[in-house]
Chain A
Amino acid sequence: MSFQDLFRLAWQSMWFHRQRSFLTLLGILIGIASVILLTSIGEGTRVYVLSEFTQFGTTLAAVNPGRIETSGAPGALGVTVNPLTLEDAAALDRIPGVERVAPVVMGAAEVEHAGRSRNVFVYGVTSSSPEVWRMRVRGGRFIPEMDWRRGAPLAVLGPKLSRELFGDQTSLGRHVRISGQRYLVIGVMQPKGQFLGFDIDDSAYIPVAEAGRLFNRLDLHEIDVLIANSSLIDTVVGRIKRTLIERHNMEEDFTITTQTGMLESLDRIIRIVSLAVGGIGAISLLVGSIGILTMMWISVNERTSEIGLVRAIGATSTQVLLLFLTEAILLSTVGGVLGLVAGIGLAQALHVYLPALPVSTPVEFVLLALIVSLLVGVGSGLLPARRAAALDPVVALTEE
């Protein structure tokens, strides 16, 4: 018996009971559509989050004070007996393979101009920060090269902060007060938008020594290191570690997080979450395949005498098995393909309605959905098909 004949016979029987077949495959359709929709949202989110992180470059490593094992999160406490210092940052700058180093002191402060004020994040930075963080100045210039330990009353504003304080007017060449101190605005950053919902444009940048004075602390929150190229990451991280341990009385009281390491763990977390959500969506698929099982079982019962007949005219029990299995697979794959179309369509429609919600349906998902619906057909069709194949032809023929 050829494949085309199997397919044709299965199709004829599916078409003969159109209403029933439609309702049966609707279950699979809904199941596949919801799994595809949910995993598309999950995948979209993953791609979005990863691109949010890679916008800072992939060869970035962050050094934070304190050990992650003790505090739970690096920098969350940010306080240690042996803090990171500007001298530490300078030492890292001398390591071969390190392109640039950006020491950071950050805190919250009030920025004022002409009676308007705004509480924002203020970052103490150096001239290397734009390159390390991949940021650009829109107007004026960034904090110039200077001795890290000496400050200058200069400030660069984020575009949102500039707008909030100066409205449509330029802030360049004007003065702001940060926590009462006067600073000359020498630059405005290009809009960078939000980073995972946190508005980067609503902040101010001042020389790192100024921030140390402002916040009354001599130690750093973080040292960001730009590594020359990605093949060097492991080597350079090893060198950073050795250098700092040497400088810190042989104690490893800091944590190094590479961007790639961070990306990997984020990637893993989001994949697990979307797998879990997709799994909950797959419950519908399970219920849908029970529907196929039920319908095929009913079909075998109804067609008992037909099974007897085809056995009498020479069909083997294997052929009968294949006949019913093909019907089940046809139901599930037609449902699967329609569900795939519906799922992708819904995902795209959702994206049009809510542009903030990223969606993405990779080819692997499509293939996987097709394979899964095929397997659903086999799984739910096997039991009824085996029952059909096992029927005694004499009993089946005389069944009325």
Chain B
Amino acid sequence: MIELTGISRTHVVGGNPVHALKEVHVRIETGEYVSIMGPSGSGKSTLLHILGCLDRPTAGSYRFGGQETARLTEVELSRLRRHQIGFVFQFFHLVPRLTAAGNVELPMVFAGVDLEEREHRVRQVLEVVGLTARATHRPDQLSGGEQQRVAIARAVVMSPALLLADEPTGNLDSASGREIVNLIESMNQKGLTLVVVTHDQGIGERARRQIRLADGEVVSDQRRDGTGMAESGHPTSADGA
């Protein structure tokens, strides 16, 4: 489903080029559960942003569902994010003035889904995340875990193909964190492709496939069954290891 070939991303900071990603090659198949780990500054957020079509690579090719994203316009990318990709963030990013239901509804508003359909789907996903009773509460009336569940409901309400989670438990206590991980894993089991970015080993190692980054390069890519992917991958990233 996802095919990154030779992806590089260079920022210019204070006149000097900073290489956030260097020649990254990754393939992710539909239904996979991938964690991306690495210390801060390793480029994992940049990789997530590129996967989410929020950022464009400086070089290389990113094919999503067989389509080359570099050729898409900004509007087409927005449409792709809208229908194919769901985001979950560390700081939830709920709109403070909207209720839980209102936040969940938001992607459908931009997609122009009609009202009846929206109500129906909001009810459905809130039930999935177990927040039916909290539908009319505002974010400041919800606990951290509840807020993240609203965010997850919002991420999946458009039935995307890919769920990107950026440190989803980073701002939660361990009990709520576990609940959140269980929730997104259960969604993965129903076929949703899941990519989790984290620096938390405990969370990351739950994934069936673990990609480790350092200094903008993939240093290891392993499946939990023990099969090392690094060697079968591309020689450039292996050189960096």
Q: Which residues of A contact B (CB under 8 A)?
A: 1-2, 5, 9, 12-13, 15-16, 305-306, 308-319, 393-394, 397-398, 400
Q: B97 and A311: CB pair below 8 A?
A: no
A2, A306, A314: the one within 8 Å of B93 (CB) = A306
Asked if residues A2 and B112 are in contact (CB atoms below 8 Å), the reply is yes
Q: Is the CB of B110 within 8 A of A313?
A: yes
Contacts of A394 in B (CB 8 A): 49, 54-55
A1 to B114, CA, bound (A): 9
How near does chain A come to B121, taking the closest CB pair, in angstroms?
A: 14
Contacts A1-B112, A319-B110, A397-B54; is A312 near B95 (CB within 8 Å)? no
| Besides the known contacts A309-B89, A318-B75, A394-B54, 4 further A-B residue pairs in the complex with CB atoms under 8 A apart | A13-B97, A311-B78, A314-B79, A316-B79
- Count of residues in B whose CB is under 8 Å from the partner chain: 31
What number of residue pairs across chains A and B have CB atoms under 8 A from each other? 71
Contact A397/B78 with A9-B109, A313-B154, A319-B110 known, Cβ cut-off 8 Å:
no
Q: Which residues of A contact B155 (CB under 8 A)?
A: 313
List the 4 shortest-distance A-B pairs measured between CB atoms, nearest first: A314-B82, A16-B97, A316-B78, A309-B93
Residues of B81-108 contacting chain A, CB below 8 A: 81-83, 86-87, 89, 91, 93, 95-98, 102, 106-107
A35–B32 alpha-carbon span in the complex (Å): 65
| A5 CA / B107 CA spacing, docked (Å) | 12
* Interface residue B111 (Cβ < 8 Å from any Cβ of A): yes
- Chain B residues closer than 8 Å to A318, beta-carbon distance: 75
**11 A-B interface contacts by CB (under 8 A):** A1-B110, A9-B109, A308-B93, A310-B110, A312-B54, A312-B93, A313-B82, A314-B111, A319-B110, A397-B54, A398-B45
Complex-state Cα separation, A317 to B74, whole angstroms: 8
A312 partner residues in chain B, CB cutoff 8 A: 52, 54, 81, 87, 93
Q: With a CB–CB cut-off of 8 A, which chain A residues contact B75?
A: 316, 318
Q: Is B158 an interface residue (CB 8 A)?
A: yes
**Min distance, Cβ A16 to any Cβ of chain B, angstroms:** 4
Q: How far is the CB of A273 from chain B (nearest CB, A)?
A: 47
| Chain B residues whose CB sits within 8 angstroms of the CB of A310 once the complex forms | 106, 110
- Determine whether the beta carbon of A1 is less than 8 Å from that of B54: no
CB distance A313 to B112 under 8 Å?
no
Give bound CA distance, A153 to B83, whole Å. 102
The answer to whether B95 touches A314, judged by C-beta atoms less than 8 angstroms apart, is: no
Q: Which residue of A lies closest to B55 (CB)?
A: A394
Q: Indicate if the CB atoms of B97 and A12 lie closer than 8 Å.
A: yes
Taken together as a complex, chains A and B put the C-alpha atoms of A151 and B239 apart, in Å, by 128
**Complex Cα spacing A224 to B212, Å:** 103
Q: How distant is the Cα of A312 from the Cα of B154 in the complex, in angstroms?
A: 11
Instruction: Tell whether A315 pairs with B97 under 8 Å between CB atoms, given A394-B49, A394-B55, A397-B54.
Output: no
User: Considering the chains assembled together, what is the distance between the CA atoms of A311 and B80 in angstroms?
Assistant: 11
- How far is it, in angstroms, between the C-alpha of A315 and the C-alpha of B109 when the chains are bound? 9
- Chain A residues whose CB sits within 8 angstroms of the CB of B87 once the complex forms: 309, 312-313
- B89 neighbours in A (Cβ, 8 Å): 309, 397
| Distance of A398 Cα from B166 Cα, bound (Å) | 11
Cβ–Cβ < 8 Å partners of B107 in chain A: 313-314
Q: Judging by beta carbons under 8 Å apart, are B54 and A5 in contact?
A: no
Q: Which single residue of chain A is at the shortest CB-CB distance from B87?
A: A312
A322 CB to closest chain B CB (Å) equals 10
Asked if A400 and B91 sit within 8 Å, CB to CB, the answer is yes
Within the complex, the shortest CB–CB distance from B47 to chain A, in Å, comes to: 12
> B111 — which chain A residues lie within 8 A by C-beta?
314
Q: A314 with B81: in contact, given A306-B95, A309-B95 (CB under 8 Å)?
A: yes
Nearest chain A CB to B190 CB, angstrom units? 21
Which B residues are in CB contact (< 8 Å) with A316? 74-75, 78-79, 110
A399 CB, min distance to chain B CBs, angstroms:
11
Whether B78 pairs with A1 at a CB distance below 8 angstroms is: no
Nearest chain B CB to A222 CB, angstrom units:
73
A309 to B54, CA, bound (A): 10
Measured CB to CB, the nearest residue on chain B to A8 is: B109
C-alpha gap A400/B93 in the complex (Å): 11
| Chain B neighbourhood of A393, CB < 8 A | 54
**Bound: A306/B45 CA distance, A:** 18
Q: Which residues of A contact B98 (CB under 8 A)?
A: 12
B112–A315 CB distance below 8 A: no
Q: Which residues of A contact B91 (CB under 8 A)?
A: 305, 400
Structural contact, B55 and A5, CB atoms closer than 8 A: no
Q: Is B54 within 8 A of A311, CB to CB?
A: yes
**Cα distance A16–B54 when bound, in Å?**
29
- State the CA gap A240–B107 with chains docked (Å): 79
